[in-house]
Amino acid sequence: MSLYNKSTQFKNWVFTNEQLKQSREECNNETKKKILEKTPTHEPNILSTEEELQLIHYYESKALEFSNALNLPEKVSATAIIYIKRFYLKNSVMAYNPKLIMFTCLFLACKTEDNHLDIDYYTGVIKTSAADIISLEVVILESLKFNLIIYHPFRSLYAFILDISDNTNLYNNSQPIKFDTLWDTSKKLIQKTLFSDLSFYYHPAIIALACLSLNFENFNL
Amino acid sequence: MDKYNYEGLIGEGTYGVVSKATAKENGQIVAIKKIKKILVQGQSDDGINFSAIREIKILQELKHHNIVELLDIFAHKSNVNLVFEMMQWDLQEVIEDRSIVLKPADIKSYMKMLLQGIEACHSNWVLHRDLKPNNLLMSLEGELKLADFGLARQYGSPNKMFSPQAVTIFYRAPELLFGAKSYGPSVDIWSVGCIFAELMLRTPYLPGTSEIDQLRKICSALGTPNETNWPGVTCLPNYLRFTEHPPTPFKQLFTAATDEAIDLISKMLLFNPAARISAAEALNHPYFTTGVKPTNPIDLPIPLAKRSNILQQRQQVQLQQQQQDIQNITTTSNNTTGVDSTNNIQVEPQQV
């Protein structure tokens, strides 16, 4: 049995479309109820589930931007994005400021991906106080059920490309395949999938294969 | 927090205090490690300790009967608490207890459980990196389990550099001492080899006082590493030339060991990391398939200081089990054998 099938990702974080929708609507409704109980006048400011999703997506893309600005490896940003996504399956944007959650998820992803990032340097760059980041760490860990290892499609993609390069004679190709470009363009596609819900539905290897096959035409494969 | 009844401190780990507690839900006795924040003056609080994150991350995915089980994690205020199954003693206590005689079958049993645990780590792409006798914990039933994954990490990703400053010095592989920046599961196997030797010698095999002294001890025991027995060694960042020294034959040091034991340990303590035996290969080594059978975990020796307590606990568990069994029997017999017993009464007079 593959490692993925025994992972917490497979056991706890694979859903159907309906389950995702339900989970998000529950978070939205609960928070809505709480806010209106306290301050009924806030009604016009309440976000819908769709609006929440848009905000989450916006901050997911920001996580990638900050990660690139800080020169962090792609694995860190990918993990941070998945953390944000998982966090907002259990919590509403109206309850936790997505900007701070994004910053803390990025900081946490640095720790879990063995990429040390100095807190003072980090908070200097993002212009946020360390206390704001740190105080959310435990909340996020709890929402993530302390499941921290994320399986990304990058490694599978790498393996598939190695397989193809070992068997180039299988493909009637007059021109040599440019594996570097194949890797880069496929990787970019995978990065795009991070902003979708695909990681909640599919095995990372399937996502990798799909991204690769979308690219096949361009490489005469 | 509300799920457990605390029963006092039992120790201090690398990054937190450990308390004994009972789970209210099922009465299970557990060890709770509270992760404390280490605040260094002049440095900002950077949240949950790196080692703790590593341990959480890895133990959440690794489940094996020779790896200590992380049962639960909970946050209380800003602290994270790790709930482990309760362990009773460690291998260091066994080694240091002069009242214990370790039979070859006992050593084989420890080695088998140790290698099974390591194999589980390595097949999950996890290096333990800090194997030593006091990280090898024993359960009430005498099962050996690997603990303290604070230094453990995943490996296998391309272009990942490791810090060579891992593993307690006595058990540190020579490639780490020479400053190798990329290394693999063979660093754990070296530690296993040192622990194997220590079980036979009952004293640390290579007790270096500094990194240089550690290398010196390794050379005087195992000979001097060179390009023949370890291709590439001279290119390692901290490579030092040591005066040529012939190795001490293992047979001379471990006089009571069988040929298979000698063969296995010599394959674990090879200089060349690439040639060192893997955990999976070691488990298939003739040492485990020939000669005496490994001792059953329950029959392994218990340190004197804890013996009466452990035996008492085992008796209690046995009693509880018996009571449970009796209860099961009576409840099932009440349901089904009611008919039988009346039948018997009716049948007997007829026979008379």
Edge-to-edge strand list for the sheet holding B144-146: B89-90, B136-138, B144-146
CATH code, A39: 1.10.472.10
The whole-angstrom separation of Cα A65 and Cα B30 is 44
pLDDT tens digits, one per residue of A192-211:
999 999 999 999 999 999 99
pLDDT of residue B127: 92
A149: chain B residues, CB-CB within 8 Å: 57-58, 60-61, 154
Asked if A132 and A33 sit in the same domain, the reply is yes
The whole-angstrom separation of Cα B138 and Cα B88 is 6
Helix (H) or strand (E) holding B111: helix B104-123
For chain B, domains (ranges, CATH) are 4-85 (3.30.200.20), 89-299 (1.10.510.10)
**Residue B348, amino acid:** E
pLDDT of residue B13: 65
The whole-angstrom separation of Cα B14 and Cα B62 is 20
Domain region containing A131: 12-143
Name B206's Cβ contacts closer than 8 Å, sequence gap at least 6. B170, B194, B197, B214, B217, B218, B221
pLDDT of residue B349: 44
Lowest mean pLDDT among A160-164, A168-172, A176-180, B342-346: B342-346
Strands B70-76 and B29-35: unpaired
The whole-angstrom separation of Cα B329 and Cα B327 is 5
Name B293's Cβ contacts closer than 8 Å, sequence gap at least 6. B105, B108
- In the predicted model, is pLDDT for residue A173 greater than 90? no
Beta bridge partners of B5: B22
The whole-angstrom separation of Cα B75 and Cα B182 is 35
3-state per-residue secondary structure call for chain A: CCHHHHCHHHHHCCCCHHHHHHHHHHHHHHHHHHHHHHCHHHHHHCCCHHHHHHHHHHHHHHHHHHHHHCCCCHHHHHHHHHHHHHHHHHCCCCCCCHHHHHHHHHHHHHHHCCCCCCHHHHHHHHCCCHHHHHHHHHHHHHHCCCCCCCCCHHHHHHHHHHHHHHCHHHCCCCCCCCHHHHHHHHHHHHHHHCCCCHHHHCCHHHHHHHHHHHHHHHHCC
Asked if A138 and A162 sit in the same domain, the reply is no
- Which of A140, A150, A139, A151 lies closest to A205 in space, CA to CA? A151
- CB-CB: which of A8, A111, A120 is closest to B53? A111
Nearest-Cα distance to chain B for A150, in Å, is 10
Binding residues of B for ATP: 10-18, 33-34
Asked if A28 and A94 sit in the same domain, the reply is yes
Q: Using CB atoms within 10 A of its CB, is residue A177 exposed (0-12), middle (13-18) or buried (19+)?
A: middle
Per-residue pLDDT 10s for chain B (352 aa) are 689 999 999 887 666 788 999 999 888 999 999 987 766 666 677 888 888 898 899 999 999 999 999 999 998 887 899 999 999 999 999 999 999 999 999 999 999 999 999 999 999 989 998 899 989 999 999 999 999 887 766 665 544 455 555 557 899 999 999 999 889 999 999 999 999 999 999 999 999 988 899 999 999 999 999 999 999 999 999 998 888 888 889 999 999 899 999 999 999 999 999 999 999 999 999 999 999 999 999 999 999 999 999 999 999 999 988 998 888 888 776 655 444 444 444 444 444 4
- Which of A145, A185, A169 lies closest to A12 in space, CA to CA? A145
Flag whether A70 is in a domain: yes
Flag whether A1 is in a domain: no
pLDDT tens digits, one per residue of A7-65:
999 999 999 999 999 999 999 999 999 888 888 877 778 899 999 999 999 999 999 99
Flag whether A7 is in a domain: no
The whole-angstrom separation of Cα A148 and Cα A79 is 9
pLDDT of residue B348: 45
pLDDT of residue A163: 86
pLDDT of residue B176: 92
Nearest-Cα distance to chain A for B57, in Å, is 5
CB contact residues (below 8 A), chain A span 84-113, against chain B: 107-108, 111-112
Asked if A114 and A20 sit in the same domain, the reply is yes
Asked if A94 and A169 sit in the same domain, the reply is no
- In the predicted model, is pLDDT for residue A171 greater than 80? no
- In the predicted model, is pLDDT for residue A6 greater than 70? yes
- CB-CB: which of A3, A114, A130 is closest to B153? A114
Q: How many domains does chain A have?
A: 2
Say whether B118 sits in a helix, a strand or coil.
helix
CB B89 within 8 Å of CB B303? yes
- B60 touching chain A per CB within 8 A: yes
Asked if A110 and A75 sit in the same domain, the reply is yes
Flag whether A2 is in a domain: no
The whole-angstrom separation of Cα B294 and Cα B77 is 46
Q: Could you identify the residue written with the tokens 């435990």? A: A138
pLDDT of residue B14: 62
Beta bridge partners of B82: B33, B73
- Which of B144, B139, B66 lies closest to B107 in space, CA to CA? B144
Flag whether A48 is in a domain: yes
pLDDT of residue B39: 66
DSSP B275: T
Mean pLDDT to the nearest integer, A144-167: 90
Asked if A124 and A162 sit in the same domain, the reply is no
CB A157 within 8 Å of CB A165? no
- B157 touching chain A per CB within 8 A: yes
pLDDT of residue B43: 67
CB A78 within 8 Å of CB A150? yes
Name B184's Cβ contacts closer than 8 Å, sequence gap at least 6. B127, B155, B273
Asked if A114 and A202 sit in the same domain, the reply is no
pLDDT of residue B294: 97
DSSP B44: -
Mean pLDDT to the nearest integer, A175-198: 87
Asked if A109 and A36 sit in the same domain, the reply is yes
- Which of B36, B39, B154 lies closest to A79 in space, CA to CA? B154
- B47 touching chain A per CB within 8 A: yes
pLDDT of residue B128: 92
Q: Using CB atoms within 10 A of its CB, is residue A30 exposed (0-12), middle (13-18) or buried (19+)?
A: middle
Radius of gyration in angstroms for the set of CA atoms belonging to chain B, rounded to a whole number? 25
pLDDT of residue B334: 64
Q: Could you identify the residue written with the tokens 């066994």? A: B94
DSSP conformation letters of B220-253? HHH----TTTSTTGGGSTT-------PPPPHHHH
Token pair for B82: 């790790």
pLDDT of residue B336: 54
Asked if A139 and A64 sit in the same domain, the reply is yes
Asked if A27 and A73 sit in the same domain, the reply is yes
Asked if this assembly's ipTM is beyond 0.85, the reply is: no
pLDDT of residue B344: 47
Flag whether A126 is in a domain: yes
The whole-angstrom separation of Cα B282 and Cα B265 is 9
The whole-angstrom separation of Cα B194 and Cα B222 is 12
Nearest-Cα distance to chain A for B48, in Å, is 8
- A159 touching chain B per CB within 8 A: no
Radius of gyration in angstroms for the set of CA atoms belonging to chain A, rounded to a whole number? 20
Strands B126-127 and B136-138: unpaired
Average pLDDT, chain A: 90
Beta bridge partners of B34: B17, B81
User: Quick count: other Cβ atoms within 10 Å of Cβ A39?
Assistant: 10
Q: Cβ of A7 and B61 within 8 Å?
A: yes
pLDDT of residue B350: 46
The rounded percent of chain A whose pLDDT value lies above 70 is 93
Which one of A143, A170, A195 terminates a domain?
A143
Q: Which residue of A has its CA nearest to B46?
A: A119
Asked if A40 and A84 sit in the same domain, the reply is yes
Flag whether A4 is in a domain: no
Flag whether A148 is in a domain: no
Phi, psi of B76, rounded to the nearest 5 degrees = -135, 120
pLDDT of residue B178: 93
Which one of A112, A143, A174 terminates a domain?
A143
Q: Is the dihedral of CA B36, B75, A137, B129 positive or negative?
A: positive
